[in-house]
Amino acid sequence: MKTRDRILHTSLLLFNAEGEPNTTTVDIAHEMDISPGNLYYHFKGKDVIIAELFLQYESSIGEILEAPVDQSLKLEDNWFYLYVVFEEIYNYRFFYRNLTDLIERYPALGKRFRRILDLKVSAIKAVLASLSQDGELSAGEEERLVLVDNVVLLLTYWLNYQDLRGEKMEPALLIHRGVLQILTMAAPYLGDQQLDFYHQCQEMYGAMAVS
């Protein structure tokens, strides 16, 4: 790996593990066993590293959100899709942890982050509309609008919420439980066939299965 990429990789690891406000460029250089001067040669400050990591995140989550499950009516596919979206958020979770603060320090981030939110809204809208059109989801248009916000809000804050509550669990379980939270919002509107899969997931990842 090139030094530049290694810096980005290490920064992301440290930001996620220690929190971005608690990580300096000196910490990053130290972790990599390179001199702060060498790091400075590649990035002229932490803000440049953050901007670059955001570009990476924007590009990878954008790709996922712009290609939602194509008209799939199978709940398995939607589960998997949500899992992938969540995983991407998890990989860049430091952005979400201090969101208000980060956006205030780097205002350019705010607008672009809002665009990602808009993409999330569109993706979830598309999934629900397609299920609904095919009679697999009985929610009306107004309910679907409210549902979309509930889903996007959960995607955005689930990791923070679990942190806050002091829940410790493996990343994969954390994400599966997040998907279960989302699917539970849609569950009452699903047909019997879809519900079968939902109940299987409930048994595997639900609060009662876990605790």
**Backbone torsion region of residue 191, taken as left when φ is above 0, otherwise alpha when ψ lies between -120 and 50, otherwise beta:** beta
CB of 195 to a copy of itself, least distance (A): 11
> Which CB sits closer to a copy of itself, 91 or 156?
156
Q: What letter would DSSP give residue 197?
A: H
**Which class for 84: exposed (0-12), middle (13-18), buried (19 or more C-beta within 10 A)?**
middle
Distance CA 61, CA 119 (A): 9
Greatest C-alpha distance within the chain: 62
Choice from 5, 17, 19, 45 touching a copy of itself (CB under 8 A): 19
Binding of a copy of itself at residue 85 (CB under 8 A)?
Answer: no
CB of 103 to a copy of itself, least distance (A): 8
Distance CA 59, CA 56 (A): 5
Tokens of 84: 């992938």
Distance CA 175, CA 178 (A): 5
Binding of a copy of itself at residue 206 (CB under 8 A)?
Answer: yes
Residue pair 101/15 in contact by the 8 Å Cβ criterion: no
Options 24-32, 66-74, 96-104, 125-133: segment touching a copy of itself (CB under 8 A)? 96-104
Binding of a copy of itself at residue 37 (CB under 8 A)?
Answer: no
Choice from 2, 135, 170, 208 touching a copy of itself (CB under 8 A): 208
What residues form DSSP beta bridges with 190? 137
Options 27-35, 40-48, 67-75, 91-99: segment touching a copy of itself (CB under 8 A)? 91-99
> Which CB sits closer to a copy of itself, 149 or 196?
149
Q: Which of residues 109-148 bind a copy of itself (CB under 8 A)?
A: 113-114, 117, 141-143, 145-147
Q: Within 10 Å of residue 132's Cβ, how many Cβ atoms?
A: 17
Q: How far is CA 48 from CA 39, 45, 88, 93, 145, in A?
A: 12, 6, 21, 18, 37
Options 1-9, 36-44, 83-91, 150-158: segment touching a copy of itself (CB under 8 A)? 150-158
Q: Which residues bind a copy of itself (CB under 8 A)?
A: 19, 21-22, 97-101, 103-104, 113-114, 117, 141-143, 145-147, 149-150, 152-154, 156-158, 160-161, 163-166, 180-181, 184-185, 187-189, 202, 206-208
